[in-house]
Amino acid sequence: MFTGSLVALVTPMDTKGNVDHVSLKKLVEYHIANGTSAIVSVGTTGESATLDHNEHIDVIKRTIDYAEGRIDIIAGTGSNATKEAIELTRQVENIGVVGCLTVAPYYNKPTQEGLYQHFKAIAESSPLPQIIYNVPGRTCSDIKPETVGRLAKIKNIIALKDATGDLSRVYKTRKLVGDDFKLLSGDDATFLDFIILGGDGVISVTANVAAKQVATVCELAFNNQIQQARNLNDSLMALHTHLFIEPNPTPAKWACTRLGLMANGTIRLPLVQLSDASIPVVEQALKDAKLL
């Protein structure tokens, strides 16, 4: 359920900026057909920061409806306000999600004790399994391994998504959390090494456009077919890098559109469409991965 290739799904929008439900259903079908383990709906890649509350819940519900039980759905329920994160978590309790992904509070810059109390309060508010998400480059807030170790003692905090790219943390965190706690990479460029060092999978942006390939890399790594995994992952490395050439999810949405996975790459302000200078770079990455 919380292993392998999980996709940080983009939220498709029409030219007016409204959620494109037809394209959303198409994306769900794409991931079911291509071996993705689970979909993270309205995580930060899904533009949770710019969807209003009703849209946020509606997209999660529609993703569950479109999946029809064929793939696990994890709800993004993070916020920099603990109260709001609790409200979002409670709202998805009985709609069919298998768990929640909760990003570290952004802008506030809480202490380690503040981070601990934030995630503890959310976990205690709901029986849903919780994945805590550490992405200091976007939040200015770093959940240290020692804090993850404390949080792992809370029964329904069951996993960490680590987007630091710091591979030295895998071993250190594993010692603090034990074998049952899931460690998921949130950094596509290092996810294979993360798994080799003891991680359980990845919550991937690249999987938005290369679902089968990312799932296969995970499977090969789990089966100790490391060289085959490296060879395939090498073909994805340009994507792992250039899908972040501009702020996520701008390049990923452009790439999904280029591949015909959704109608267009509309993104909400303050992010803007992929620049003319970056388009050929992302297109070449798609070609390197043999997707074009």
147 in Cβ contact with 141 (< 8 Å) = no
Distance in angstroms (rounded) separating the CA atoms of residues 189 and 173 = 20
Q: Where are the alpha helices (DSSP H) in the chain?
A: 21-33, 53-67, 82-91, 112-125, 136-139, 145-151, 168-177, 191-196, 211-222, 226-242, 250-258, 279-288
Catalytic residue among 30, 116, 133, 253: 133
The secondary structure element, H or E, covering residue 35 is none
Distance in angstroms (rounded) separating the CA atoms of residues 3 and 270 = 33
Please, is 196 exposed, middle or buried when counting C-beta atoms within 10 Å of its C-beta (0-12, 13-18, 19+)? middle
Catalytic residue among 61, 161, 182, 253: 161
- Say if residue 157 carries a ligand binding annotation: no
Q: Which of 213, 217, 178, 185 is nearest to 200 (CA)?
A: 185
Active-site residue, 116 included: no
CA 41 to chain centre: 8
Active-site residue, 161 included: yes
Tally helices (H) and strands (E) across the chain.
12, 8
Give whole-number Cα distances, 96 to 25, 74, 93, 161, in Å. 17, 9, 7, 21
- Say if residue 102 carries a ligand binding annotation: no
Distance in angstroms (rounded) separating the CA atoms of residues 59 and 16 = 17
Show which residues are catalytic: 133, 161
Which parts are annotated binding residues for pyruvate? 45, 203
